[in-house]
Amino acid sequence: MAGWTLISESAPARGAWNMAVDEALFRRAEGDGAPGPFLRLYAWSPACLSLGHHQSFSEACDPGYCASRGFDVVRRPTGGKAVLHDDEVTYSVVGRMDRPPFAGLSLIDTYGLIAEALAEGLRRGGLEVSLSQRRGSLSPAGGAPCFLVPSEKEITASGRKVVGSAQRRGQRAFLQHGAVPLHLDYEALALASAQPLADAEGYRRAFAGVADLRPGLTHEGLGAALADGFRARFEGPWTERALDAEERELAERLRRERYETDEWNLGAALRSPEDSEQMTGGGLSCSS
């Protein structure tokens, strides 16, 4: 049975660093002789608007508003729509597609396994959640937030979506990461992602922060519950550690040369052969 590695984080980080670490772990798993699956749970400081890899910057971001609020802006290595990361716990899973527990699974089946672990974690955090297979009727605009995109595998509580995810699949490995917000600022989400302010009320009806539904739930409590949910769904062995020297060096390079650059963040086209792996689009890119 494949052994899992929980990557521990010491403090919330900027968007460029968070995306660089996720990609560094993905690249490590793509290489020969990579270790078993990774789970990483992390936070953001300052708040950050992340854009899907193929999104148009002008349709998905209001840079003036983001600057006025002190929000970072970063483009993800995954597909999907805009997400405003603020008061949340973010998860990322990196695994090999040729090794257990994800060996031979389709994109949808991979989502399903991870969604089961997330749902178990949220239940351990005190929420009553449902895992549904739903094709929604929403038709969001090009820059509309990730949480509004209909999905095959969706985690809901009190009838509202509580997790938004995106996935990238390479030749051997995949990266899936997603936001589990505790509280949501619906107006900030609309304005940061260049959507009409009037849409904020619709967002409020469509999705929710988990601490708004389960008062008293903290970042620490949510993170611990999610980790427990993964351990319950994916039996061990589990180890916990910080980034090793190789991973940190690669993440530092990716942060400096990619995720902090205007060339990456303002563009929306594939930039090099190493970026040509499959990235999910449409509803699948923002499932769970």
Q: What confidence tens digit (pLDDT) does each residue in 174-194 have?
A: 999 999 999 999 999 999 999
pLDDT above 60: residue 270 = no
What is the per-residue pLDDT for 157?
95
Name the catalytic one among 48, 61, 66, 146. Answer: 146
CB distance 125 to 165 below 8 Å: no
Task: Work out the pLDDT band at 9, boundaries 50, 70, 90.
Answer: confident
Q: Determine whether 146 is an active site residue.
A: yes
What is the per-residue pLDDT for 134?
57
Q: In terms of C-beta density within 10 A (0-12 exposed, 13-18 middle, 19 or more buried), how is residue 241 classed?
A: exposed
Least confident segment among 4-13, 71-80, 255-264: 4-13
CATH number for position 67: 3.30.930.10
Domain of 82, in residue numbers: 4-286
The residue behind tokens 């190789």 is 246
Q: CA 20 to CA 18: how far, in whole Å?
A: 5
Quote the number of domains for the chain.
1
Residue type, 30: E
What is the per-residue pLDDT for 137?
39
Q: In sequence order, what are the residues at sequence separation of 6 or more whose Cβ sits closer than 8 angstroms to the Cβ of residue 247?
A: 21, 24, 25, 28
pLDDT tens-digit readout, 122-165: 999 999 999 876 544 333 445 545 554 445 678 999 999 999 99
Residue type, 50: S
What is the per-residue pLDDT for 151?
56
What is the per-residue pLDDT for 132?
78
pLDDT tens-digit readout, 12-69: 999 999 999 999 999 999 987 567 799 999 999 999 999 999 999 999 999 999 999 9
**For range 99-114, the mean pLDDT:** 93
β-pairing, 160-161 with 238-241?
unpaired
What is the per-residue pLDDT for 95?
96
pLDDT above 80: residue 246 = yes
Mean pLDDT of the chain: 87
pLDDT above 60: residue 102 = yes
Give the residue among 112, 121, 115 at the shortest CA–CA distance from 155. 115
Query: Which two tokens mark 86?
Result: 């603020």
Task: Work out the pLDDT band at 283, boundaries 50, 70, 90.
Answer: very low
